[in-house]
């Protein structure tokens, strides 16, 4: 019963392979598939549930196993992401950061994971809020902009204040720059989880649960109701906020 790999989770979710890893004879049998999908939930979800949650999960499973239009997830889909929580060092100082990745098609049957975002206050170029008192003087041009060297010296931590008010920090560019210059080094990955957006009107999370139980390995840890028009904004919020 243990779901050892995310590929195994996907094949069970789609009811393509049984719990022994063998191809199923009738993958279109939605009643059996429903049992398989139910077995992929973290059983702890169903402890002390409110009245609304069982209906949410039941509706989710019914959507996935709808006989007229069943829903599937594929490794090659671009509308799911991995979240890797990492320990890193920035100029020798330990920090914790999150890296978001998704699948990208290379050519033919070749695919790869690509980094689509990072999360830590470091990449937002602190301070988060601008200080209107930190400026380049409107008369600085008369002094041949002699204050510019200070921006990369004693004032370097205020650099965001010298950009236009409409400017927003591209955290991924900051991450790439810090790695490129050797200032940031990822030491190891502490935890990995996944978010799947493929099911109509739903987003669900998958995490790894290590315990002495049949209900272990890669399991559904959370289901959220999201209309299709909400998903793009939700994806953006996760990756960029």
What's the pLDDT tens digit per position in 11-28? 999 999 999 999 999 999
C-alpha triplet 183, 186, 192: angle, nearest 5°: 150
Long-range contacts of 60-64 (CB under 8 A, 24+ apart): 60/199, 60/202, 60/204, 60/223, 61/34, 61/37, 62/34, 63/199, 63/200, 63/201, 63/202, 64/13, 64/33, 64/37, 64/199
Sign of CA dihedral 14, 20, 25, 30: negative
Using alpha carbons, select from 168, 138, 139, 134 the residue that is nearest to residue 151.
Answer: 134
**Does pLDDT of 5 surpass 90?**
yes
Domain ranges, ordered by start, for the chain: 6-78+197-240, 80-125+169-189
- 205-217 pLDDT, tens digit each: 999 999 999 999 9
pLDDT of res. 51: 63
pLDDT of 160 reads 86
Q: How confident is the model at residue 199 (pLDDT cuts 50, 70, 90)?
A: very high
What is the DSSP secondary structure assignment for residue 88, as one 8-state letter?
E
């Amino acid at each position: 019963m243990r779901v050892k790999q995310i590929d195994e989770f996907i094949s069970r979710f789609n009811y393509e392979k049984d719990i022994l890893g063998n191809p199923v004879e009738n993958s279109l049998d939605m009643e059996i598939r429903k049992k398989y999908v139910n077995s992929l939930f973290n059983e702890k979800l169903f402890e002390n549930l409110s009245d609304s949650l069982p209906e949410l999960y039941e509706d989710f499973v019914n959507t996935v196993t709808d006989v007229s239009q069943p829903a599937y997830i594929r490794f090659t889909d671009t509308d799911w992401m991995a979240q890797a929580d990492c320990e890193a060092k920035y100029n020798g100082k330990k920090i914790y950061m999150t890296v978001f990745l998704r699948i990208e098609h290379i050519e033919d049957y070749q695919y790869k994971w690509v980094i689509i975002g990072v999360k830590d206050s470091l990449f937002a170029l602190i301070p988060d809020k601008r200080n209107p008192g930190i400026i380049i003087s409107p008369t600085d041009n008369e002094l041949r902009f002699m204050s510019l060297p200070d921006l990369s010296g004693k004032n370097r931590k205020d650099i965001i204040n010298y950009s236009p008010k409409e400017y927003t920090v591209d955290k991924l560019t900051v991450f790439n720059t810090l790695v490129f210059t050797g200032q940031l080094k990822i030491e190891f990955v502490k935890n990995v989880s996944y978010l799947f957006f493929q099911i109509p009107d739903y987003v669900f999370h998958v995490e790894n649960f290590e315990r002495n139980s049949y209900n272990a390995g890669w399991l559904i840890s959370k289901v959220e109701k999201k209309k299709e028009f909400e998903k793009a904004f939700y994806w953006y919020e996760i990756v960029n906020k």
